[in-house]
Amino acid sequence: MKLLVSSSVITFKEKAEKIWGLEEYKYPRDKHEPTCFFGMYHCGDYYHCLRHKGEKSVFWCGHDLVNLKNNRLPLYKMFREIDNYVENRVEQEDLEEFGISSFIRPSFLEDVPPVSYKHSDRPKVYVSGHAGREEEYGFKFIEKIAKQVPECFFALYGAEWKSNLTNVFCFGKVPPEQFNEEIKDYQCGLRLNEHDGFSEITAKSILMGQYPITRIKYPMIDSYETEEELIKLLKDLKNKKEPNIKAREFWLKNINQYPWTQKKF
């Protein structure tokens, strides 16, 4: 099976080829080969999928579904005839608005990290975002809730942010190797996005035996709907004495479960 990654998420190309074990799609050579289209962000992606003559599947990444809803391109009807894969119920509902069915299959495009969880009376919580989208990723919201959870240390990654709070620190954009090394000592990966795929932040946290918290509901992962519920979950982190092994084992069996995936965890 071949893989064609949207130019909008091209940074995931090498990871997807490695972890999923797929070869890069080349047109016209592969126009009749079974192909996974990774991301549907713009007209070019729709065109590539439309002209392909072989079996095709689409892996929706998250924000491409926002584009679909905002633009409502007529070409969306072609997705009713092919296999679509999303990572949570929120994304599945987005496609259902267009009469498109889909399978929920979360992904993780890195090697599985070992369990590294250690209990702390002052839990460390990490949040990651992108420059220019700090509010979308919850940086401003952290400023609000951190005052109510002084026992937690909040680390912000991926973008610059200034805070006057003593328990909020911004590390900005750091190399992936540094990020992975630093978060091993943390207790929770916090994902505040209301519209999102299965974030690498969440995946890494659960696979390291931590206790991630998400706004979107996932099996065996704590989630919240109100600010009060989130505060309660954060305050409870100090009571997590042992690694989150049962949840880790569940996700090892349920990540990357696609027909095309050659490498299983």
What tokens does 53 get? 């003559």
Q: How high does pLDDT run on average in the chain?
A: 94
The one-letter code for the residue type at 30 is: D
| b/e burial code for range 25-46 (CB count within 10 A of at least 16 → b) | beeeebeebebbbbbbbeeebb
Return the pLDDT at 263.
59
Residue 119: count other Cβ atoms within 10 Å of its Cβ. Answer: 13
Q: Where are any strands of DSSP class E within the chain?
A: 2-5, 23-24, 35-38, 56-59, 83-86, 103-104, 124-128, 153-157, 168-172, 188-191, 213-214, 222-223
Tell me the pLDDT band of 72, cut-offs 50, 70 and 90. Answer: confident
Percent of the chain with pLDDT over 90: 86
Report phi then psi at 78, rounded to 5: -70, -25
- Residue 87 pLDDT more than 90? yes
**What was the pLDDT predicted at 134?**
86
Residue 214 banded pLDDT, cuts 50, 70, 90: very high
Distance CA 229, CA 24 (A): 44
pLDDT at 262: 66
For residue 265 the two structure tokens come to 């965890």
Q: Is the pLDDT of residue 169 over 70?
A: yes
pLDDT digits (tens, 9 = 90+) for 238-256: 999 999 999 999 999 999 9
Q: Which of 118, 3, 11 is nearest to 52 (CA)?
A: 3
Q: What is the pLDDT of residue 135?
A: 87
Which amino acid appears at position 224 of this protein? Y
Position 265 pLDDT exceeds 70: no
Average pLDDT over residues 173-182: 94
> What is the phi/psi pair of residue 169, to 5°?
-130, 140
Q: How much of the chain, in percent, has pLDDT values that exceed 70?
A: 98
Tell me the average pLDDT across 59-72. Answer: 89
Kindly report which listed range (77-91, 150-164, 218-232, 250-264) carries the lowest average pLDDT score: 250-264
CA torsion angle for 97, 66, 128, 244 (degrees, to 10)? Answer: 20
Question: What is the mean pLDDT of the segment spanning 152-164?
Answer: 93
For residue 28, say if its preceding peptide bond is cis, omega within 30 degrees of 0: yes
Domains of the chain and CATH, by start: 2-104 (3.40.50), 124-251 (3.40.50.2000)
Q: Is the pLDDT of residue 93 over 60?
A: yes
Rounded Cα gap, residues 37 and 188, in angstroms: 32
Tokens coding 234: 């954060």
In 3-state terms, what secondary structure has residue 125? Answer: strand
Average pLDDT over residues 3-26: 95
